[in-house]
Chains A and B, each alone.
Chain A
C-alpha cells in the first residue's frame, strides 16, 4: 500500500537553528498537511497546502514556519529559528481529494530542540 514517508525520523537541533523536515506524500495525492503532537498532548493542525499555495493555517503556524513543494515529490516544513517549545512529533499527511477522504499520515519526525 502506498504510504507517506518522512525524513529524518529524529532531528536534534540547538535553539535558534533552522530545521527542514521532509515529506514525500503519496504520488497521486493533491492535498498536503503538517500536524504536530507535543509529547502526551493532542495532535494539532499546522497548515494545509494545495496547488502550490497554503490553503489554511493555524495560529501556531507563524512567521517562523514555512512550507514548500520544491519539486514534484517533496513537501517540506521549515522552522527558521527553533524554540524549545517547537519540540514535538511532526506529522506530514496527504489525501487525494479533501472533500471526503481520510488523511494518510506519515510516521513522523521527532524534533528535539535543546
Chain B
C-alpha cells in the first residue's frame, strides 16, 4: 500500500521567512502533484512533477522531485500572508495519472 507522508503537519511562520515542506512516499513513482486548499474550498493545482530532478517554480513557491529518495519538497521563499492555506502533495500510485494518493496536508499560517 502506498503511503504518502508530509511534514510538518502544521507550520506557523512570519512574513518574509523561508521554509520547506517535505513529502515522502513509500513506493516507486515518477509523478507527484502539489495542491493548495483554502478553508472550505476546492483543491487548486500548483505543480505537476513528472520526472526525477524536476523543479518547478511559481512566484514564491518552488517544488522539486527526487524519485530515488522518494521525496518532494515545496519551498516557500519570503512568505506572505496570502500563502496561508493547506498544502497537499499527491502521488500517482500507478503512474497512469488517474489514482492519486494524498498526503495528510500541511497547514500553513503566515503571520503578518
Contacts and interface: CB of A to CB of B under 8 A. Distances in A.
Contacts of B45: 102-105
B105 A42 contact: yes
A39 B19 CA distance: 26
Size class of the contact patch on chain B? 20 to 34
Contact of B42 (A98, A101, A107): A107
Contacts of B88: 42-43
Nearest to B104: A42
Contacts of A107: 41-42
Given A42-B88, A42-B103, A101-B48, A56 B98 contact: yes
Interface residues of A, number: 27
A48 B99 contact: yes
A95 interface: yes
A43 B102 CA distance: 6
Interface string A30-51: 0101010000011111001010
